[in-house]
Structure 1
Amino acid sequence: MTALQNLWLTETIRLREEHAGPLEDQEANRLARAAGGDLSTRIRHRARWLAERDGLTQALRHWLQGARLALIVLAVLAIVSGAGLGFAALGDGQTPVNVFWALGSLLGLNLILLVGWVLGLIFAGEQGAALGRLWLWLSEKLARDAKAAQLAPALLLLLQRHKLNRWALGALVNGVWLLAMLSALVILLMLMATRRYGFVWETTLLGSETFVAMTRGLGALPALLGFSVPSVEMIRASGDGALDIESARQAWAAWLVGVLLVYGVLPRLGLALLCLWRWRRGRATLHLDLNLPGYAQLRERLMPSSERLGVNDAAPAQLHPIESAVGAMDSDGALLVAIELDDRPWPPKLPDTVKSAGILDSRESRHKLLEQLSRFPPARLAIACDPRRSPDRGSLALIAELARSASATRVWLLQAPLGEALDAERLGDWHNALQQLQLPFADCMPLNWLETGHD
C-alpha cells in the first residue's frame, strides 16, 4: 500500500467516525500503541487496521480498478472525439476546405476551455470540475462496491487541504484533451496523405488584408518549428477559390498542421506535464492535519499519559466476524484460558498436551497473554466465559482479540454452579454475540478438540 493510499484510508476512517460515531477500536488502538512511532504514525496504523477489518481496504482496491476503467473510457471518448474533429474539419474532399472554419472546429472549443481552466487556476484554484466529477462518478459506478462511496469525498478533502486537487484534476483534464488533439492531428495527417484537398477562405465583412495578417500571425510560431506558411500572394489568391497548385495545397496543409500542433497539442502537453510535476512534488509532502478534531481526540488513546481501566465508549451497533490472522503452519499446541471468573475453581484437570493460561481478570494479565500469543500463537484456543455475566463490549472485544491470535478458537460457556440457574435472556445475549462473531461455542469443555483437533 502506498503512502497516499494509507493517508486516504486514514481520512476515510476520520470522515466515517465524524458522521457515524466512534468505531470499535480497542484492538486497533492497542496494536497502534504497540507499533510505536509518533502520533501520525499511530493514527495511520490504527486506520489501516480498521479499514482492513471493515472492508475499506478491499473497497479501495475496487475503487482504484473502477478509476482505471473510467480513465480508459475517458481516453477512448477523447480519441473518438478528436478523430471526429479531424473528419469534420476537412470533410470528404469533394469541396474546398475553408481554412478558418477548419481551424475553428479543431481549436475553438479546446482554446475556450483552456482559457477557462487557466483563469480558474489563477483566480479560483478550482478547474476541470466537470470532467473531474465525471471521472469520480464513473470510478464509483465501475467499482461496484457500496463502501467505495465513502472514498471519493475523503480523497477530495485530503487533496483540497493541501491544494493538490487542482494539479491532480489538471493532469487529468489536460491529459484527456491532449489525447483528443493528438487524435485530431493523426486523422488530419492521414486524410491529407490519402486525399486531395483545396483550401480557401471566405468573408463578407472583412478585407483580404485581415486574413493575410491572421494567417501570417498564426503561422509565425509554427514557422519557427519548420512549418511552411503560405505566401501573401497565395493567401490573397485563395480568397477567390481553391488554388490548383501543388505548392499552394502543401503550404496550406502544412500551415494547418503546424497551427494545430502549436496551439492545440503543445499547450496541453506542457500543462499536463506541469500538473503532473506539481502533483508528484506535492504528493511527497502529504501529511495528516493533527489539529482536526477527529485526530486530536485520538491523542490520549494512542499516546496516553496514563492508562485507565473500564469501558468508556458506547457499545457498537454490530459485531464484526472474526478472521484469524494466524496460519495453521505458524501455530502449535492447545491453550485454555478463562475470562473474569469469580467463584469457580480453576483450572480444571487438563492433559499434558493442553496448557492453561489462567484467568484474565486485570489489564496486566490481558496484555501479557496477548503479547505471548503474538509471539507463540496456539493452534487451538478455548476461551471459558461465565454466562452469568453480561456480554459487555470489553469482554467481547477481548474474546475477538484472543481469537485472532489463534488458528482456531472455541468458546466454552460455563454451566451454572449447583443450586443456581442461568438467566435465559442473558444466555441468549451471549449466543447472539458469539454468532455475530462467528465463533463456535458450547456449554461443555471442548477437551477432545483441544487434544486432537477433532470433536
Structure 2
Amino acid sequence: MEELVTALTPLDKRWLTEAVRLREEHAGPLEDQEANRRARQQGGDLATRIEARALWLAERDGMTTALRHWKQGARLALLALALLAVLSGAGLGLAALGDGQRPVNVFWALGSLLGLNLLLLLGWAVGFFFAGEQGATLGRLWLWLSERFARDAKAAQLAPALLVLLQRQRLNRWLLGLLVHGLWLLAMLAALGMLLALLATRRYGFVWETTLLAAEPFINLTQALGALPSLLGFGVPDETMIRASGATLPALDLARQAWASWLLGVVLVYGLLPRLVLAVLCLWHWRQGRTRLALDLNLPGYAALRDALMPRSERIGVQDAAPEALPRFEAGQLESGSSGALLVGLELDDQRPWPPLLPQGVTNAGVLDSRESRNKLLEQLGRFPPARLAIACDPHRSPDRGSLALLAELARNAGATRIWLLQAQPGEALDAARLGDWHEALDRLGLAHADTSPLTWLEHGHD
C-alpha cells in the first residue's frame, strides 16, 4: 500500500481525501479505527493525518484503483474530444474553400473559419470575468465521458471531489480554460493544415461580392485584417487586386497567391494565435495554482476528525520518547519492545486460568475483552511490533467477523503470528463443527493455528 500511495501525485492525494470526505457525508462515517491509528503513528499536523487516514481508507475500499480507472477514462475522453476537434477543424477548412470548381468568396470563407471561434472566444471572456462558468458545458461533457469510460461504480465521488477541490483556489476556470483553448487550438491547426493542403493541390480563385456596399469598405477591411499577418511575412492584396476581385474572377496567379497568403495569415493570427496564447496562460496558472492546493480544515467532515487524529496530549506537546528497555507488566499494562514475543488472549472467560506460566522473554498482554483494551494493544503494536505474537482463542465461541478482523489486524503488526485454539477444560467438550469453522476461517486469513501451546515457539522462535 505504501508503494501505491508513493506513486500518487500531491493532487491525487488531496483529491482522494476530498472524495473520502464526500463519501462519508453521503453514506455516514466509515470504519476507520485502523486508519486513525496509522495516521496518528505517522504524525505531522492535522492536515497530514487527515490525508494519511483518507489514503488508507481509499486504498482499502478500492477508491485508489477507481481513481486510476477514472484518470484512464479522462484520457480516453480527452482523446475523443481532441479527435472530434481535429475532424471539425478539417471540415471547416474543406467547407471554406470547396472543391475549386467555383471561386471562393473570401469573406464568406473567413466567416466560416473564424466566425464561430471568435463568438465562442468572446463568450468565454464574458464568462471568465463575470459569470465564472466559462467552459462549463464542455467541462461537464468531459467529466461525463470520463465517468462513462472509467466504468467503475466506486468512482462516483471522484468528479464532484475534483470540482470542490479546485473551486477553493478557483483553479477550475484555468483547467476548463486549458481544455477549451486546447481543443480550439487543435481545431484551428487542423483547419490551417487543410487550407494549406487544398491551396497547394488545387487552383482557387478569390472574389468578394456585394449589392449594397461600395468597394472601399472591402478594401479597407482587407488591408486592416492583413496588417498584423503582414508583420509575419504573409502577403496582402493591393488595392488594384482587391478591386479586380470584386469585379470579376482574377486570372493572375499573383492575385491568387496574394489572396491565399492573406487568408492563411488572417486565420493564423486571429484564429490560432489567440487560442495558443490563452492555452499557455491557462496552463501556467494551472501549474502555479496546483502547488497551492490545500484541504479546508474548517469543513465539518474534517473538523470532526481532530479529536481522533490529534489527541489532546499531542496537541499540547506531551510526547514521551520511547524507553530503551521496557519493563514486564501484567494484564492491562501493556508495554512491548520492537522485538521479542507477546502472548494475548481474545475474549477468554473468567473460568479459564490465565495467563499460563510464561518463559523468560515472553510478555503477557492480558485479555482483550473491550474496545479500549483492543485499541490500546493496537496502538502499542503500531509503535513496538513484536517479532512473535501468539493469540489465544476459545474455540467454544463462534469465529465472528469482528473477531477475525481483529486477528488479521493484530497479525499485520507483528513479525510472525500464531493462533492458539485452546483445548477444552476438564469436563467440557468441543463442538467439532465449530472447531472446523475456526480452522476454515483462519486458513482463509492465512494465519497459522494449532491447539498446542505456542510458548516454546514464543521463547525460541521454533518448536
TM range (shorter): 0.7 to 0.9
Long gaps (5+) in structure 1 = 308-330
User: Which residue number corresponds to residue 241 of structure 2?
Assistant: 234
Q: Alignment partner of 1:288: what SS?
A: coil
Aligned-residue RMSD, C-alpha? 3.6
Identity of aligned residues (%): 68
Which residue of 1 is the match for residue 353 of structure 2? Answer: 345
Aligned residue number for residue 402 of structure 1: 410
Structure 1 Cα separation of the partners of residues 307 and 441 of structure 2: 30
What is the Cα deviation at residue 121 of structure 1? 0.4
Corresponding residue for 1:103? 110
Structure-1 separation of matches of 2:140 and 2:452: 58
Which of 66, 74, 78 is matched with 1:71 structurally?
Answer: 78
Q: Tell me the secondary structure at the aligned position of residue 239 of structure 1.
A: helix
The reply to whether residue 371 of structure 1 matches residue 379 of structure 2 is: no
Which one is further off, 407-416 or 225-234? 407-416
Corresponding residue to 2:232 among 225, 230, 253: 225
CA distance in 1: counterparts of 2:192 and 2:92, whole angstroms:
9
Over residues 191-234 of structure 1, what are the superposed CA-to-partner deviations in whole Å (9 max), with x where a residue is unaligned? 11111111011223333222222212211221222222111221
Moved more, 29-38 or 405-414: 405-414
Residues 2, 208 of structure 1: alpha-carbon distance in 2 compared, 3 angstrom cutoff: same
Structure 2 regions of 5+ residues with no counterpart?
Answer: 1-7, 315-337
Structure 2 Cα separation of the partners of residues 68 and 357 of structure 1: 55
Change (3 A) 1:90 1:368: same
**Equivalent of 1:170 in 173, 177, 184:** 177
CA contact (8 A) 1:347 1:356 kept: no
* Structure 1 letter corresponding to 2:119: I
Which residue does 1:27 correspond to in 2?
Answer: 34
Aligned to 1:195, which of 188, 191, 202? 202
AA matched with 1:178: L
Which residue of structure 1 aligns with residue 332 of structure 2? none
Q: Deviations over 1:6-48 (max 9, x none)?
A: 1001000100111111111111111111111111111111111
Query: CA offsets, 1:377-404, max 9 Å, x none?
Result: 55xx553234677989986654342132
Distance 2:426 2:277 in 1: 84
Change in 2 beyond 3 A, CA 1:388/1:306 = farther
Specify the alignment match of 2:307 in structure 1.
300
1:72-106, CA deviations, whole angstroms, 9 ceiling, x for partnerless residues? Answer: 22111111111111111111111111111111111
Q: Residue 205 of structure 1 corresponds to which residue in structure 2? A: 212
Structure 1, 140-149 or 94-103: larger mean CA deviation: 140-149
Q: Is 1:253 matched up with 2:265?
A: no
Q: Indicate the residue corresponding to 2:297 in structure 1.
A: 290
Q: Residue in 2 aligned with 1:8?
A: 15
Secondary structure of 2:392's counterpart equals strand
Asked whether the equivalents of residues 391 and 419 of structure 2 are also in contact (C-alpha less than 8 Å), the reply is yes
User: Does 1:48 find its partner at 2:60?
Assistant: no
- What residue in structure 2 maps to residue 135 of structure 1? 142
Matched, 1:183 2:195: no
Match of 1:313 in 2: none
1:383 corresponds to which residue?
Answer: 391
Count, aligned residues: 425
Alignment-mate amino acid for residue 127 of structure 2 = G
The letter for the 2-side match of 1:229 is V
Matching residue's letter, 1:153:
P
Per-residue CA deviations over 1:247-293 (Å, capped at 9, x if unaligned) read 11111011100110011100000110111111111111110000000
| CA apart distance, 1:118 | 0.9
The question of whether the paired residues in 2 share the 8 Å contact of 1:178 and 1:265 is answered with yes
> CA 1:392–1:301 in structure 2 vs 1: closer, same or farther (change >3 Å)?
farther
Cα offset, 1:338, TM superposition: 2.2
Alpha-carbon spacing, 1:252–1:435, altered in 2? closer, same or farther (3 Å)? farther
Distance 2:443 2:190 in 1: 56
For residues 207 and 12 of structure 1, do their structure 2 counterparts lie closer, same or farther at Cα, with a shift above 3 Å needed?
Answer: same
Partner of 1:321: none
Please, what TM-score do these two structures have when normalized by structure 1? 0.82
Question: SS at 2:218's partner residue?
Answer: helix
Distance 1:410 1:80, change over 3 A: farther
